[in-house]
């Protein structure tokens, strides 16, 4: 570094980075050496202190640019006790180990869309998402979740992978937010307003369409979302005095294939189908639609079918799927914001930032599969990205 004309903006790499292949990333010491200052000064200008005077600042900035320096995340995290990372646990599909890359991974879209919502707001706060999948059958799920927690500042858990007791224990070490789970004394849960959405749907089917026999195709066992949806439907059905089928035969596990199989089994078993099949989510409704079509059963003519979530795919189906919309990305965004405030408040106030159980609004989206008329003609461009239509 015998040569340091301040005018040379991007001078060729000096001895510090001997060009070529396996260069190491430069450290703050490299920058300090090139700039001719202490590492403390480098750190100060990089962290926007007001202290360093202009010349120091210039020298440092020039060295940083020349070397292409950025601070090591682990070192910084260790020092400031903040990683700017939130861990996200997604439930691993069953097939993971057996038939890896099986085709039926469609249902993953839902958690992925939630993650998008998280990522967008995380970005605003300078955080990134650290993703790990965990099987619910996994022997030491607890350990793997904890391990991820220690690589992050807080955790967001999809679905139910941990028992409430495990959750409680975990949340003593790091802030935890669950999605579609259940709140615990130290954990916040975020979910869509399943109850309200399902009641609106049920009333529509019962009163506007006059259907008198129903079935509820459940999601996977123990899913709080599925349970709540099923209960809300049952409540409305009871109030109206209409018949509701449910139970083990009626389980789609949130999957297209699961929904199709359930219908196949029922038909094979000679069961008489109800007038309307209310599915726990869109994905399983897709399977139901396929199975019914395969048997020449008309939807909604013979049997009405509805979904839940209003995934993008819902409007591309034939018939277009009536569903209950939740702003999926909002779920993720809210989960992150909640966690973020917990992270900052960590070790201070004892009160939760918001309620311990946060419900986001849902909205009935009537399309064709419930028996409403085909949507009013609009520009195809609109149709391609817009949602519901009016009902007759």
Footprint on residues 137-196 left by its own copies (CB under 8 A): 143, 146-152, 169, 172-174, 186
Shortest Cβ distance from residue 32 to its own copies (Å)? 17
Which positions from 3 to 42 touch its own copies by CB under 8 A, shown as an x/- string?
--------------x--xxxxxxx----------------
Could you tell me where the DSSP H helices lie in 204-243?
A: 224-240
Assigned token pair, 126: 């300078």
Q: Smaller CB distance to DNA: residue 44 or 325?
A: 44
| Residue 185 makes contact with DNA by CB under 7 A | no
**Where are any strands of DSSP class E within the chain?**
85-91, 128-134, 154-157, 176-179, 188-192, 213-217, 243-245, 276-279, 304-306, 323-326, 357-360, 362-365
235 interacts with its own copies by CB under 8 A = no
CA 369 to the chain's CA centroid: 26
| Structural contact between residues 336 and 86, judged by C-beta atoms closer than 8 angstroms | yes
Is position 81 an interface residue for DNA (rule: CB under 7 A)? yes
- In angstroms, rounded to a whole number, what is the distance separating the alpha carbons of residues 214 and 234? 9
Give yes or no for residue 318 binding its own copies (CB under 8 A): yes
191 binds, among its own copies, DNA, none (CB under 5 to 8 A by kind): none
Candidates 37, 146, 237, 289; binder of DNA (CB under 7 A) is 37
Q: Of its own copies, DNA, none, which one sits near residue 168, judging by CB under 5 to 8 A according to partner kind?
A: none
- Segment lying near its own copies (by CB under 8 A), choices 32-40, 93-101, 203-211, 225-233: 93-101
Site for its own copies (CB under 8 A): which residue of 9, 103, 137, 248?
103
User: How far is the C-alpha of 32 from the C-alpha of 257, rounded, in Å?
Assistant: 60
The correct pick among 80, 102, 238, 239 for binding DNA (CB under 7 A) is 80
Please report how close the Cβ of residue 349 comes to DNA at its closest, in angstroms. Answer: 21
Please give the backbone phi and psi of residue 363, each rounded to the nearest 5 degrees, phi first.
-150, 135
Q: Which two tokens stand for residue 249?
A: 């035969």
Whole-angstrom CA distances from 391 to 61, 117, 200, 233, 302 are 62, 30, 14, 20, 18
In the complex, which residues of this chain contact DNA (CB under 7 A)?
Answer: 25-29, 37-44, 46-47, 50-53, 55-56, 69, 71-72, 75-76, 78-81
């Amino acid at each position: 570094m015998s040569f340091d004309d301040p005018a040379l903006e991007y001078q060729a790499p000096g001895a510090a980075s001997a060009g070529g292949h396996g260069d190491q990333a430069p450290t703050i010491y490299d920058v300090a050496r090139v700039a001719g200052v202490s590492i403390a000064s480098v750190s100060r200008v990089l962290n926007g202190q007001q202290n360093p005077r202009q010349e120091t600042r210039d020298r440092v900035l020039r060295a940083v640019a020349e070397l292409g320096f950025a601070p090591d995340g682990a070192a910084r995290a260790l020092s400031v006790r903040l990683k700017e990372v939130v861990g996200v646990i997604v439930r691993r599909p069953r097939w993971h180990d057996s038939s890896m890359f099986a085709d039926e991974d469609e249902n993953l879209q839902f958690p992925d869309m939630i993650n998008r919502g998280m990522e967008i707001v995380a970005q605003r706060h300078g955080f990134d998402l650290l993703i790990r999948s965990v099987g619910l059958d996994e022997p030491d799920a607890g350990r793997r979740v904890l391990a991820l927690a220690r690589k992050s500042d807080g955790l967001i858990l999809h679905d139910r992978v941990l028992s409430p007791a495990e959750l409680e224990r975990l949340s003593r070490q790091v802030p935890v937010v669950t999605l579609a789970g259940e709140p615990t004394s130290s954990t916040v849960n975020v979910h869509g307003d399943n109850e309200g959405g399902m009641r609106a749907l049920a009333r529509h089917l019962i009163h506007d369409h006059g259907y008198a026999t129903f079935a509820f195709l459940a999601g996977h066992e123990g899913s709080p979302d599925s349970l709540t949806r099923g209960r809300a439907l049952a409540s409305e059905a009871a109030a109206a005095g209409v018949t509701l089928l449910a139970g083990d035969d009626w389980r789609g596990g949130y999957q297209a294939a699961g929904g199709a199989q359930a219908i196949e089994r029922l038909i094979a078993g000679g069961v008489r189908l109800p007038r309307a099949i209310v599915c726990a989510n869109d994905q399983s409704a897709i399977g139901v639609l396929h199975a019914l079509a395969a048997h020449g059963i008309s939807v909604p003519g013979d049997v009405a079918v509805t979904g839940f979530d209003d995934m993008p795919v819902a409007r591309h189906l034939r018939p277009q799927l009536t569903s209950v919309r939740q702003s999926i990305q909002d779920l993720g965004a809210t989960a992150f914001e909640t966690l973020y405030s917990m992270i900052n408040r960590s070790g201070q106030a004892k009160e939760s930032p918001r309620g311990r159980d946060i419900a986001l609004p849902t909205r009935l989206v009537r399309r064709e599969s419930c028996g409403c008329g085909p949507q009013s003609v609009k520009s195809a461009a609109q149709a391609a990205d817009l949602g519901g239509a009016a009902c007759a």
